[in-house]
A and B are shown apart, each in its own frame.
Chain A
Amino acid sequence: MKNVMRQEFADTMLEIGKKDKNLIVLIGDISHFILQPFAKACPGRFYNIGICEPTIVSMAAGLAKVGFHPVVHTIAPFIIERSFEQIKDDFGYQKLGVNLVSVGSAFDYSDLGCTHHCYDDFALLKTIEGMQIIYPGSPLEFNLLFKQTYANGLPTYFRVPKVTHGIVFDKSQIQLGRAIIVQKGKDLTIVAIGPQLKTALASVKPLRALGMKPEILYLPTIKPFDRETVLKSLAKTKRCLVIEEHSMYGGVFDDVLRSAKDLRGVKFAGLNIGNTFIHEYGTYEELCTTLGFTPLEVLKKVQTELL
């Protein structure tokens, strides 16, 4: 099956690379073939450096120093967890811009084990001053949010999932740092990110059967966090469920709780990944079921923790 998100990454590089001579792409031996159109159209600005992620990240800082807008692309745990200190020191501390574009979001590499999983990336990167974190759940979101940020001189992480949420938003809705109100409601706010928007939407019908009218917020940007939209919704619904393919520590659930600490009478629940390594193998969908990313689990959470 064609990976439309990764293809969109390659297409966007080509689109921008033709116009902006400062765009340069460094990869750690992944997506080499789909980036060939970029390599051909932008000679001297595509490098398959090798399997040495921390060095690739530091190199990008050197390229940023001489005026390039570097893109570093490889599998999430290697670009974020292994190279975290390089991101912190070479971009955060030095105030240099970079675009870190991963594949292998959360447990996308569902049959490769935890060496290839990465669901603490938001928690790690949020600690870095100036860092922008983008989690596009559709090709259009990647394209537009990349264009909005790639040259703004800040470090930006794009967590690119394998699976899309399947919704096509209007271009005007896709803005850095802005949540999208997918569906208005009155007695429950579901905050969903990435492909889990699909789970949120699939939960609407059974929730309605319970007599509830959920409001669904979707966040393509994790940092900066759209506190205002979330708080406005919570003030109305007084109930909140966050669905995220992220560790229970440091994800969007934490951002929501921190933002809402002064709101009275609101109940919160999170559907996320516990403090555990996933030792199961299977398809992405099978792991979603095992981990509880299903409408059934949403219903259970709502019934046991929010009613």
Chain B
Amino acid sequence: MCRVDDRCGWGARKKLFLKSMKRNNALRLQIAEMVFKAGEGHIPSAYSILEILSILYGHVLRYKSANPRWEKRDYFILSKGHGCAALYILLEKHGFISRSDLEKKSTLGGILGGHPDSTKVPGIEASTGSLGHGISIALGIALGLKIRKKKNKVITLIGDGESNEGTVWEAALVAANLSLGNLCVIVDENGSADQILPVNPLRKKWQAFGWEVYEVDGHAEKKLLNLLTRLQFSLSGRPKVIIAHTIKGKGVRFMQGHGVWHSRVPTEEEMTMIREELL
């Protein structure tokens, strides 16, 4: 695993950056190939969260992939369940599921679908898909751990579009009121909400709800790493929110933005273009 460090010189940093870009491009291609084969998936929503998940599973979360229910694990819930293609690729990379599971996505007998199923997929803590649920489930987990005085971290990733849901703000109120300092929400701020019902200024809103607010470029691995590894989780105090500014469809130019690509499956010609861009 590539470790970015402040002490690196410019040359070393450039080398690490290129290495991480190459690695992430390979993961993005794997996502596209999986969706292409399955004939189903939300590629741009997965691309916007890839670096966040990569850092979480590479450096932040404690887990044992051979024992996904390990009592001391940190909890991660992808509340914006439609971004699960990125999560599946990382679960495979870190040993929770197999390459064969990826290949069987969206097939009868396979364990992976267009939204994650906690009863079937090792490492999936909550079955999400309907927006505004995962954050409240995470809230309950955080409360339960706090009652039991357990130090496991609880992290959930929501979308900015998902932030239109009233339950997100109900959860925000409750978490702050219960002083759940062991809970961190990451908002994938990829501009989806702006297309219909804008939610910005998010920083001011979360601050007003009593949360500790951070902002970061959601594709800058070094910044994500620094922020996520230095975040102080505790059994009291304010819950934390990281507003991660991201680009929907990041990595493949013709997919970027908010057009038809939200849930479109690439054609063979488009797959060739994706391969050319990512390889």
Q: Is B158 an interface residue (CB 8 A)?
A: no
What separation, in Å, do the CA atoms of A284 and B119 have in the docked complex? 43
Q: Is A55 an interface residue (CB 8 A)?
A: yes
Given A55-B171, A90-B133, A90-B137, A65–B144 Cβ distance below 8 Å?
yes
Q: Is A1 an interface residue (CB 8 A)?
A: no
Q: Is B35 an interface residue (CB 8 A)?
A: no
Across-interface contacts of A66 in B (CB, < 8 A): 140-141, 144-145, 148, 150
A65-B147 in contact (CB<8A):
no
B141-A62 in contact (CB<8A):
yes
Residue-wise, chain B 172-184 has the 8 Å CB interface mask toward A (1 for contact) of 0110011000000
Out of B129, B137, B145, B177, name the residue touching A58 (CB < 8 Å): B137
Out of B117, B126, B137, name the residue touching A59 (CB < 8 Å): B137
What separation, in Å, do the CA atoms of A55 and B139 have in the docked complex? 9
Q: Is B142 an interface residue (CB 8 A)?
A: yes
A50-B139 in contact (CB<8A):
no
Q: How large is the interface on B (under 10, 10 to 19, 20 to 34, 35 or more residues)?
A: 20 to 34
Interface residues of B in 125-145 (CB under 8 A from A): 125-127, 129-130, 132-133, 136-145
B118-A94 in contact (CB<8A):
yes
A55-B136 in contact (CB<8A):
yes
What separation, in Å, do the CA atoms of A95 and B133 have in the docked complex? 15
Across-interface contacts of B127 in A (CB, < 8 A): 89, 93-94
Across-interface contacts of A47 in B (CB, < 8 A): 143, 178
B144-A55 in contact (CB<8A):
no
Min distance, Cβ A87 to any Cβ of chain B, angstroms: 11
B177-A62 in contact (CB<8A):
no
Min distance, Cβ A247 to any Cβ of chain B, angstroms: 25
Q: Is B20 an interface residue (CB 8 A)?
A: no
Given A49-B174, A54-B167, A55-B170, A24–B139 Cβ distance below 8 Å?
no
What separation, in Å, do the CA atoms of A90 and B132 have in the docked complex? 11
Interface residues of A in 115-147 (CB under 8 A from B): none
B147-A24 in contact (CB<8A):
yes
A-B contact count (CB 8 A): 93
Residue-wise, chain A 53-73 has the 8 Å CB interface mask toward B (1 for contact) of 011001111111111101000
A44-B147 in contact (CB<8A):
yes
Q: Is A301 an interface residue (CB 8 A)?
A: no
What separation, in Å, do the CA atoms of A60 and B171 have in the docked complex? 12
Across-interface contacts of A55 in B (CB, < 8 A): 136, 139, 167, 170-171, 174
B170-A62 in contact (CB<8A):
no
Given A52-B170, A85-B130, A95-B119, A59–B140 Cβ distance below 8 Å?
yes
B137-A65 in contact (CB<8A):
yes
Min distance, Cβ A240 to any Cβ of chain B, angstroms: 39
A61-B137 in contact (CB<8A):
yes
B174-A60 in contact (CB<8A):
no
B140-A60 in contact (CB<8A):
yes
A62-B130 in contact (CB<8A):
no
Q: Is A227 an interface residue (CB 8 A)?
A: no
Out of B119, B129, B138, B167, name the residue touching A62 (CB < 8 Å): B138
A45-B140 in contact (CB<8A):
no
Residue-wise, chain A 28-43 has the 8 Å CB interface mask toward B (1 for contact) of 0000000000000000
Min distance, Cβ B146 to any Cβ of chain A, angstroms: 9
Min distance, Cβ A23 to any Cβ of chain B, angstroms: 12
Min distance, Cβ A127 to any Cβ of chain B, angstroms: 16
B119-A58 in contact (CB<8A):
no
Min distance, Cβ B165 to any Cβ of chain A, angstroms: 9
B137-A62 in contact (CB<8A):
yes
Min distance, Cβ A301 to any Cβ of chain B, angstroms: 42
Min distance, Cβ A304 to any Cβ of chain B, angstroms: 46
Residue-wise, chain A 244-275 has the 8 Å CB interface mask toward B (1 for contact) of 00000000000000000000000000000000
B173-A62 in contact (CB<8A):
no
Given A86-B133, A89-B133, A94-B126, A52–B174 Cβ distance below 8 Å?
yes
What separation, in Å, do the CA atoms of A37 and B110 have in the docked complex? 50
Out of B119, B140, B170, name the residue touching A63 (CB < 8 Å): B140
Across-interface contacts of B150 in A (CB, < 8 A): 66
Across-interface contacts of A54 in B (CB, < 8 A): 132, 136, 166-167, 170
Min distance, Cβ A123 to any Cβ of chain B, angstroms: 21
Min distance, Cβ A47 to any Cβ of chain B, angstroms: 8
B133-A45 in contact (CB<8A):
no
What separation, in Å, do the CA atoms of A86 and B129 have in the docked complex? 12
Out of B125, B130, B138, B174, name the residue touching A89 (CB < 8 Å): B130
Additional pairs, 14, CB under 8 Å, beyond known A61-B137, A89-B133 = A47-B178, A52-B170, A55-B136, A58-B133, A58-B139, A59-B139, A59-B171, A61-B126, A61-B136, A62-B138, A63-B144, A89-B129, A94-B126, A95-B119
**Sample (12) of A-B pairs whose CB atoms are under 8 Å apart:** A50-B170, A52-B170, A52-B173, A55-B171, A58-B136, A58-B139, A61-B140, A65-B126, A66-B145, A89-B127, A89-B130, A93-B119
Which 9 A-B residue pairings sit nearest by Cβ, starting from the closest? A62-B140, A58-B136, A59-B140, A66-B144, A52-B170, A55-B170, A62-B141, A62-B137, A63-B140
